Amino acid sequence: MRKRWIAAVLLSMMLQSYSCKETSENKSLTKEVSFTKEGELTLKKATNDSIVAILDIEFANTEYETQTGLMYRRSMQNDRGMLFVFENEIRRSFYMKNTEFALDIIFVNSDHEIVSIQKNAKPFDKSSLASEAPAKYVLEINAGLSDQWGLEAGDLIEFSKFSE
């Protein structure tokens, strides 16, 4: 009887230790990601080359960064964005799974021209949001800014990446 009781206590301690480890790992996985300025991006009107906005940007270059994007963040300042850079120019499709705030998704071709904009993409929506033409770059900004700035197809982006 005493052996069973000792075994039960040891098993209980092992399980408790295991579940504490699980809890601390889960907390670190859900920690909010913070913004890291990696470059600057300028939005320009095609008609007169006037500057519409200058943004601090993060780049999504790797497969992990591309898959994650702005997921697991609660918000983003209006003077910031994320630029996805792809090797080729094809029709692109994005979704808002695990993205907590609404975005405008701007699709840009290899000539740095805006080809289409998906406006007011809803948080946590798994619907596919596609470009209307092939795109090499995708810029994500806060929802409503593309309307506020009067952006439209044909407008241009210029960007620079800071040295690492």
Q: 63 and 6, same structural domain? A: no
Predicted pLDDT of residue 31: 62
pTM for the complete prediction? 0.80
Predicted pLDDT of residue 33: 77
Question: Which tokens hold the place of 123?
Answer: 């948080």
Q: 107 and 63, same structural domain? A: yes
Q: 25 and 95, same structural domain? A: no
Q: How far is CA 64 from the centre of its chain?
A: 11
Tens of pLDDT, residues 130-145: 999 999 999 999 999 9
Confidence bin at 20 (pLDDT 50/70/90):
very low
**Which residues span the domain enclosing 27?**
1-31
pLDDT at 67 over 50: yes
Predicted pLDDT of residue 34: 86
Q: For the chain, what is the domain count?
A: 2
Tens of pLDDT, residues 100-122: 999 999 999 999 999 999 999 99
Q: 70 and 90, same structural domain? A: yes
